[in-house]
């Protein structure tokens, strides 16, 4: 039995948490979700996948907590509990020195949020915490030449945030995050059906509609799906028909917010690097970048080439793992964090 736990890379997203263990590989990918007792939020009933599976089926006396919202800790205690549970699942708990943790953070993270994140990870059992920008990690994870003297643009559309950055020579030149992601698209679909069909649907149904039917651009082939929910007035079960143009109308605002975030960064990018990006394009990562035709929407609005990463939801943890496994790169992250 070893007494020092291995280093970890941690992607604590609003929707999903991933943990990579140095020398071993990706050990965990589970929803960032906790179910607690309504009467006492400190009594935890389920964590991770188990908690998400309970959504919509939770009895009256349980509540679902999203510990991380819009990329930041929204509930400190449940974040600590979730991390402690995930650390135990990936590396056990019977050791003396906890792991060193490399964690990704959103652009523009306020100092207090960064402090809360560090504390939650330490309290969950880590002995040291190092930060790296999520977009920097995602850029590595999708294979961009981040250490070369050329501008690369990466955009991450996650569950609760969109984060865009221009990177060159191993550093971030311009970056910006907005609190809009895939979960906001789900919410807009819920609101749409409330408003136009008088029906309340669950978050998981909304997510299914987003993935199966919604599109960032108006589609030529109109399709419809049957959506199940509850009548807002009578509370009885009901079914409504939703068309692809309605689903498009519902997610339009979040798509505009994604576009706005990218524009913000492009407008502040130095001309030489802009010229690089005209050539190399915008690289989309994050689970919600898979929204149908989001790449096409952004490309046509900005007249730039847009590429969707392979396995976009895994780019951040892939990049974090790459850094963690590379002693020289880790050394520079560690020395920068001690300044
Ligand atoms: N095929 C898809 N189309 C649209 N959205 C998707 C698709 N697959 C996953 N998503 C969305 O991606 C989001 C999660 O992305 P992820 O990058 O894992 O988030 P985070 O890192 O913020 O936790 C969720 O809102 C999910 O519904
Ligand atoms: Mg993520």
71-121 pLDDT tens trace: 999 999 999 999 999 999 999 876 678 999 999 999 999 999 999 999 999
- For residue 256, how far is its CA from the centre of ligand 1 (angstroms)? 17
Supply the pTM of this predicted model: 0.95
Average pLDDT over residues 211-215: 98
Closest ligand 1 atom to residue 313 Cα is: 17
Average pLDDT over residues 259-269: 98
For the chain, domain boundaries: 8-136+315-337, 143-309
Percentage of the residues of the chain whose pLDDT score is greater than 90: 88
- For residue 59, how far is its CA from the centre of ligand 2 (angstroms)? 29
145-154 pLDDT tens trace: 999 999 999 9
Q: Report which of 131, 151, 153 is spatially closest to residue 142, judged by C-alpha positions.
A: 153
Q: pLDDT value at position 4?
A: 86
Q: Report which of 275, 313, 3 is spatially closest to residue 142, judged by C-alpha positions.
A: 313
Q: Which ligand is nearest to the CA of 210?
A: 1
Mean per-residue pLDDT of the chain: 95
Q: Report which of 49, 42, 5, 43 is spatially closest to residue 23, judged by C-alpha positions.
A: 5
Q: pLDDT value at position 276?
A: 97
Q: pLDDT value at position 25?
A: 97
Which tokens hold the place of 59?
A: 């009895």
Domains 8-136+315-337 and 143-309 alike in fold: yes
Q: How far, in Å, CA of 302 to CA of 55, rounded?
A: 38
Q: pLDDT value at position 2?
A: 58
In degrees, rounded to 5, the angle at the alpha carbon of residue 239 between the alpha carbons of residues 238 and 241 is 150
- For residue 313, how far is its CA from the centre of ligand 1 (angstroms)? 7
Q: How far, in Å, CA of 130 to CA of 34, rounded?
A: 25
Closest ligand 1 atom to residue 183 Cα is: 25
Sheet of 162-168, strands arranged across: 171-178, 162-168, 152-157, 282-285, 306-308
339: pLDDT strictly greater than 70: no
- For residue 149, how far is its CA from the centre of ligand 1 (angstroms)? 31
The set of protein residues with a Cβ atom below 6 angstroms from ligand 1 is: 13-16, 158-160, 181-183, 207, 210-211, 286-288, 290-291, 313
Q: How far, in Å, CA of 180 to CA of 161, rounded?
A: 5
Q: pLDDT value at position 158?
A: 98
9-21 pLDDT tens trace: 999 999 999 999 9
Percentage of the residues of the chain whose pLDDT score is greater than 70: 97
Residue 323 DSSP one-character state: H
Q: Check: CB of residue 106 under 8 Å from CB of residue 11.
A: no
1: pLDDT strictly greater than 60: no
The domain defined by 8-136+315-337 folds into Nucleotidyltransferase; domain 5 (3.30.420)
User: What architecture is the 143-309 domain classified under in CATH?
Assistant: 2-Layer Sandwich (3.30)
């Amino acid at each position: 039995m070893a007494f020092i736990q291995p280093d970890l890379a941690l992607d604590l997203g609003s929707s999903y948490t991933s943990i990579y263990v140095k020398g071993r590989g990706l050990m965990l990918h589970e929803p960032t979700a906790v179910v607690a007792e309504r009467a006492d939020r400190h009594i935890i009933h389920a964590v991770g996948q188990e908690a998400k599976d309970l959504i919509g089926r939770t009895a009256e006396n349980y509540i679902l907590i999203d510990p991380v919202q819009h990329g930041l800790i929204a509930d400190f205690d449940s974040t600590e509990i979730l991390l402690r549970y995930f650390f135990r699942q990936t590396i056990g708990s019977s050791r003396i020195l906890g792991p060193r943790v490399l964690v990704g953070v959103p652009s523009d993270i306020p100092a207090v949020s960064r402090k809360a994140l560090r504390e939650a990870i330490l309290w969950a059992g880590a002995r040291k915490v190092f930060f790296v920008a999520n977009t920097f990690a995602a850029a590595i994870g999708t294979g961009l030449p981040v250490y070369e003297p050329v501008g690369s643009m990466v955009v991450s559309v996650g569950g609760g945030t969109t984060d865009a950055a221009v990177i060159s020579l191993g550093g971030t030149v311009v970056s910006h995050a907005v609190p809009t992601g895939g979960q906001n698209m789900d919410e807009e679909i819920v609101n749409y059906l409330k408003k136009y069909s008088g029906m309340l649907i669950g978050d998981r149904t909304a997510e299914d509609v987003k993935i199966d039917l919604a599109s960032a651009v108006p589609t030529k082939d109109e399709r419809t799906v049957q959506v199940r929910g509850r009548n807002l007035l009578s509370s009885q079960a009901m079914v409504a028909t939703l068309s692809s143009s309605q689903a498009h109308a519902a997610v339009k605002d979040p798509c505009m917010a994604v576009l706005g975030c990218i524009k913000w960064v492009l407008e502040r990018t130095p001309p030489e690097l802009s010229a690089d990006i005209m050539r190399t394009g915008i690289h989309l990562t994050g689970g919600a970048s898979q929204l149908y035709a989001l790449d096409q929407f952004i490309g046509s609005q900005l007249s730039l080439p847009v590429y969707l990463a392979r396995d976009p939801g895994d780019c951040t943890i892939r990049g974090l793992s790459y850094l963690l496994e590379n002693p020289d790169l880790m050394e520079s992250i560690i020395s920068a964090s001690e300044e």
